[in-house]
Structure formats: C-alpha cells, structure tokens
A and B are shown apart, each in its own frame.
Chain A
Amino acid sequence: MPRFSIITPVYNPPREAFEHCVRSVMAQTNSDWEWCLANDASPDSWVAQRLAELQTVDSRVRVMTRAVNGGIVAASNDAIAMSNGEFLVLLDNDDELHPEALQFVADALAAEPKCDYLYSDEDKISPSGEHFDDFAKPAWSPERLLAQNYTSHLSVLRRSIVELVGRFRPGFDGSQDYDLVLRVIEHAREVVHVPQVLYHWRSLSTSTASAASAKPYAFIAALKSVGEHLQRTDTVAQVTEAGPSLARVRRTTRRHPAVTVIIPVDDAKQRIFGLETPLAGNIVKSLVEKSTYTNYTVTLVANKALSDETLEALAAPFEGRATIVRARHSGLAQMLNTGLVACDTKHAVLLDERCEFIDSDWLEALLGYADRTNVAAVAPFLLDEFGMIMSAGIGLTPAPHDIAAGRHLSDFGPVGMFAIAREVFGVSMRCALVDVASLKSVGGFSPEYSTRAMDTDMACKLHRAGRHAIITPLVNVRLLDDTSLMNDEIDSLTMRWGRVFGSDPYTRIDTRLRLPVSF
C-alpha cells in the first residue's frame, strides 16, 4: 500500500499545462505514491490516449474513464475509489507539485503521527509560466478557515477520515475541496501546516486562481459549506458575504453568561469633538447607551486621584451593577490586575476609558468567540476618530506592531486578512473580552510595562501558555488616544521575548502601512 494517493480528476485540461502537471508528479523525490486519475469523459481525444500512455509507462499511475461526464465531484470520488494510499493528495489537472512536495509532507507526518490533515503554502503560475503571488499561510487557524478557504492547496487528508465523512459531496462543485476539509477537521486529531510552497496553482482565465469572481457559484457553495459545518458543530450563527471569497460568521450566544466589565478610571480629560470631556464619564455613558447585552456588571478600578463622590456618580448609571475598587498601586497594569482579582466571572471585558463604542451589539459579537478552544482574548478593531484602523491585533513579524495600523476600514489587506475574523498572535487590551483564568495563570499584566508593550508582553505570555487571540471586524471601537508608544520599553521587552520577534505564526508577512518614500 503506498503512503500517498494523488487524486486528480481530469477534464479537458490545456495540453501543455497537463504535461507540466505530469512532469511535476514524475519528478517527486519521494517515490511512495500512486496517481489516481479519473477521466471525466473528456471530449478531446488526446486526453484518453495520454492517460493510457502514462499508465503503460509507470505502474504507479492508475486511470479510470467515466462513460459520461459527471462533474468534478463525481470524478474526484471515482479517483478516491481507486486509491489505496494512507493519505490523499489533491492535485488539479493543470497545476503542479514542487518536486519535493511529498518528501516535505512525509517529513511533517513523521514529526506529527497524529496528523489527519496537512496543508502547505502555495503560489500561482502565470500563463507565461512565471511564479507569483506566494501565499505564506498562517499556522492552523480554524476561525480564519470559516471566513476563507485559506488552506486550499496543497491539501493532504487521511484517507480513513475522508471515507468516514463520505468523500466529496454533490452540490458543492467548485468548492468541493473546502467542503471536504471542513468535514474532515471535525474529526481530525491534529492539523499540520508545512510553511513551504509545495503547490503551484496555474492561473488560467477560468480558474479560481485568477480571480475570486471567476467562479461565483463556487463562493455560493463555500458559504453553504460553512453554514452546514457550523450546524454540524452545534453552533448557531449567520453566514454572510464579507467581500470577494470572504465569509462573515456571526455567532449567536445561546447562554447569556455573566460578564464583568473592568474599567480603570482616573481624572483624565480630553478634547472630544472640541469639547473638554472627562474620559471616565465618557466611557460610562458609551457603555450604558451602546450595550444591548444586559448580563454584565462593572468594576470601576480607581486610583487615588478620583474622589468618592465622583466614583459614586460614575457608578450611578449602572443602577447597582457597578462595584468600585481602589487600586493600591499606581500604573495601568496594576489597576487591571486589581480588576482581575476582584472579578468573579469566567469572562471579563478590559476596557480603556479612552474607548467609545460604535456598534451596540459589541458584547454579543465578542462573546460569540469566547468558547472557542484555547482562546484567551477576543478583541474588536480599534479605530481612530477619522475611521482609520489603529489596531487589528498585534503582529510580531518583523517586529511587534499593531496590525493594519493606518489603513482604512475598507482596505481588505493582503489575502483579505483585514476583513475577516481570524487568529492573531495578540490583541490590544484597550478593549478585549478575556478569559480571566488564562490571564491569571500567566500572572496578569506585568507592572514593568505600560499599554502597548504590556499588550505585547501579555500576548507572548499567553502564546507560551498555548493560548491564542482572535480579532474580529464584527465590532469596531473608537479609541481616543494614540500617545502610548513603547519605544522606550522595547529594550526591556526584547530582553524577555527578543527570540520570538519575527516568528509570528499567524502573520507571516509585514502588515504595517508602508508610506511612500517620496511624494
């Protein structure tokens, strides 16, 4: 029994592209494979002849010919029916594998024997044969997979699980791979990412590689796949279109868990739209007026600058749901830690007094992600007064930075990553729903740092503890502050975490705004 069965449905491919595909399979440095090709009644006579020839030349090539054209799903299932390998390797009839693709896959499987699904990076080949559009994919990101089929090619699936879920499903043509992957991950023990370009996707005028809009029916099928996946995993959610080939999943919380909103307050004032405004009063007003979720209590953590009368006035709008705690130590980290200590709910919202809510269902939307496995923090996009993004998460590559800072909300970013909910290395704790136990287990916020450095330190600590964060564009929060620079703290931060800078598993490209050198 070979280790790998390469599955290729064949229907009238461009001849030259098919020959490249054949050469790429024959050139594999790992020889433990079989190639199962299903000819889906291709009208061009050369196809059947060439397949027969291949079968004669190499005994590892297995060909079946369908009597009538049945579409990609039927042909792929016929190819799977022929296969004997432990793993299925999906290859389209006009694409190419890297010569060492199977060897890299074999090495990765040897390192993680429980792996049931593996994916690699990919690039595209132009009609003139040039490679372009390298997609350096993130580490396993189940939330991102619901928004886009980012794993795509190369996909390697354990055959026993593919058989368990019933192979490809009719009715999902154009998005059949995505649908299969979504069903396989429901049973997969481990998912592995190989950060190497092992698949070259040929960009033809009709293929989904050339443009997201080339196959609209494929996207409709993709939305259906995501919806059914959520149903199967017992998740109540709405799936809508977020952009070209991008889905938006809005979960509905069945339970309405109690949440503590922790707000460190002081006597700071700021000019907001020309008016000198006390920030503490402003966030209280925003929270009361812009929250449709009702099962929350508020912990106001105050320093010594605020009088008892002021605090009582701040607590009054919450009608008995607010608790006042005096922080014994100064500094934002210690104030947040004091709030965490006083918190008796599983989840808490850490809220900077410089925030203002825009969406009224912000807490429901954030809570939708709270029960995802190993999620320690969920955060909204932070916007400035002019609607530009200040932070869409914290990235570490090439150095700690706020993802998408300076970009406009309408900018989808590379591979649409700014328009979707996804796993990120860390999030800004200016406004974040957190798992209180996770934060406590890593010692809360470090008093050594303030604001942005503190957030990066927390992200590193949580990542080290195997927890991750999610950023969601479903919620936008206005942040009336851009003063906290961490330049003076970067050395100290580097002394703790310098070795992990540049190795962000979720953002492998630099997402900072690059200003032109000259205008």
Chain B
Amino acid sequence: MLVSNESLVDAVQRDAELLRLGNELRRAREALLDAQAQRASFELEVLNSRDHAVGQAAHIGELRYRLLKQAQHQLIHDKNHRDHIARLEAALAESSRTAAQTEALRRELTATRNSTTWKLGRVLMFPVRAVKRLLRRG
C-alpha cells in the first residue's frame, strides 16, 4: 500500500498532538489530585478550626458558669458577713443602752444613799441592826 508523504506528515503530526494532549491530561489529572488533596486538607483544617471555636465557646461558657457560681457564692458570703456585722452592731447598741441604764441606776442609788432620808433611816434603824447582829453571834 502506498502512503503519500503528506499523509505520513499528517499522521506524525496527529501522534505528536495526541502525545501532547495525553501529557496535558496527565498533568491536569495530577493537578486535580493535588487540588483534591489540598481541598481535603483545607476541609480538615476547617473542621479543626470549627472544633476549636466550639471548644473555646464551651470553655468560655464553663468559665462564665463557674464565675457566676463563685459570684453567687461570694454574694451569699457577703450577705452573711453583712448580717453578722449588723447583728454585732445591734448587740453593741444594746450593750451601750444597757450600760447607760446601769449608770443611771447607779447614779440614782448614789443619790438615794446621799439623801437625808436615807441617812436618818440608817440612824433610826441602828439599834435594830445591832440586835440582829448579836442574835446571829449568839
């Protein structure tokens, strides 16, 4: 079978083109695989970042919860403390009032004992006291 030079040239050119296209396809496939691997890698990073964000949000929630609990505890502690101080102040005021009453009574007693009536009474009752003392000794 005779093959013209022109046909041979065409065939060679076609083969060369096929080879070039084949190589291009291989490179494209490799690039696609790389892109897919890169995409998977990015997607994994997104997952990890999302987990980190969720974890941090949960961590903040936990800290907020603990802080709130601590604050509530502190509030209760402070209230108890204030109540205790109020009770002490009330006791102190009561004590001052009692001391003032005692002082007033003491003054009244002193005044009574310094009065002429008291002294006269003491003199008048002296014999009775003396007899009582003798009876106790006897």
- Roughly how many angstroms separate A349 CA and B16 CA in the complex, as a whole number? 49
Whether B43 sits at the interface, judged by CB under 8 Å, is yes
Whether A110 sits at the interface, judged by CB under 8 Å, is no
Least CB distance from A512 to B in Å reads 24
B interface, over-half SS: helix
30 A–B contacts, CB within 8 A, in A order: A328-B44, A329-B44, A337-B47, A338-B40, A338-B44, A340-B47, A341-B43, A341-B47, A440-B50, A441-B50, A442-B50, A443-B48, A443-B55, A444-B48, A445-B51, A446-B51, A447-B48, A447-B51, A460-B58, A461-B51, A461-B54, A464-B54, A464-B58, A495-B59, A495-B62, A496-B58, A496-B59, A498-B62, A498-B65, A499-B61
Could you list 4 further interchain pairs (A-B, Cβ under 8 angstroms) beyond the known A341-B43, A443-B55? A445-B51, A446-B55, A447-B48, A494-B62
Question: Do A499 and B55 touch across chains, with their CB atoms under 8 A apart?
Answer: no
Whether A359 sits at the interface, judged by CB under 8 Å, is no
Interface residues on B, range: 10 to 19
Whether B52 sits at the interface, judged by CB under 8 Å, is yes
Q: Which residues of chain A are near B112, meaning CB under 8 Å?
A: none
Q: Which residues of chain B are near A495, meaning CB under 8 Å?
A: 59, 62
Whether B19 sits at the interface, judged by CB under 8 Å, is no
Whether B41 sits at the interface, judged by CB under 8 Å, is yes
Question: Do A443 and B62 touch across chains, with their CB atoms under 8 A apart?
Answer: no
Whether A186 sits at the interface, judged by CB under 8 Å, is no
Question: Do A443 and B47 touch across chains, with their CB atoms under 8 A apart?
Answer: yes
Q: Which residues of chain A are near B62, meaning CB under 8 Å?
A: 494-499
Question: Do B58 and A497 touch across chains, with their CB atoms under 8 A apart?
Answer: yes
Which residues, 125 to 173 on A, are CB-close (under 8 Å) to B?
Answer: none
Least CB distance from A276 to B in Å reads 34
Cβ 8 A contact of B53, one of A443, A448, A497? A443
Whether B49 sits at the interface, judged by CB under 8 Å, is yes
Question: Do A443 and B54 touch across chains, with their CB atoms under 8 A apart?
Answer: yes
Q: Which residues of chain B are near A341, meaning CB under 8 Å?
A: 40, 43-44, 47
- Roughly how many angstroms separate A464 CA and B51 CA in the complex, as a whole number? 13
Residues of B within 8 A of A (CB): 40-41, 43-44, 47-55, 58-59, 61-62, 65-66
Residue of B nearest to A457 (CB): B55
- Roughly how many angstroms separate A223 CA and B126 CA in the complex, as a whole number? 110
Question: Do B58 and A337 touch across chains, with their CB atoms under 8 A apart?
Answer: no
Whether A334 sits at the interface, judged by CB under 8 Å, is yes
Interface residues on A, range: 20 to 34
Contact string against B for A residues 338-357, beta-carbon threshold 8 Å, 1 for contact and 0 otherwise? 10111000000000000000
Question: Do A443 and B58 touch across chains, with their CB atoms under 8 A apart?
Answer: no
Which residues, 443 to 463 on A, are CB-close (under 8 Å) to B?
Answer: 443-448, 460-461
Q: Which residues of chain A are near B43, meaning CB under 8 Å?
A: 341
Which has the most chain A C-beta neighbours within 10 Å: B48, B61, B66? B48
Residue of B nearest to A340 (CB): B47
Q: Which residues of chain A are near B41, meaning CB under 8 Å?
A: 328
Question: Do B47 and A496 touch across chains, with their CB atoms under 8 A apart?
Answer: no
- Roughly how many angstroms separate A337 CA and B51 CA in the complex, as a whole number? 11
- Roughly how many angstroms separate A464 CA and B62 CA in the complex, as a whole number? 13
Q: Which residues of chain B are near A498, meaning CB under 8 Å?
A: 62, 65-66
Q: Which residues of chain A are near B53, meaning CB under 8 Å?
A: 443
- Roughly how many angstroms separate A440 CA and B47 CA in the complex, as a whole number? 7
- Roughly how many angstroms separate A342 CA and B55 CA in the complex, as a whole number? 23
Q: Which residues of chain B are near A461, meaning CB under 8 Å?
A: 51, 54, 58
- Roughly how many angstroms separate A328 CA and B42 CA in the complex, as a whole number? 12
- Roughly how many angstroms separate A464 CA and B54 CA in the complex, as a whole number? 10
Question: Do B44 and A443 touch across chains, with their CB atoms under 8 A apart?
Answer: no
Which residues, 309 to 367 on A, are CB-close (under 8 Å) to B?
Answer: 328-329, 334, 337-338, 340-342
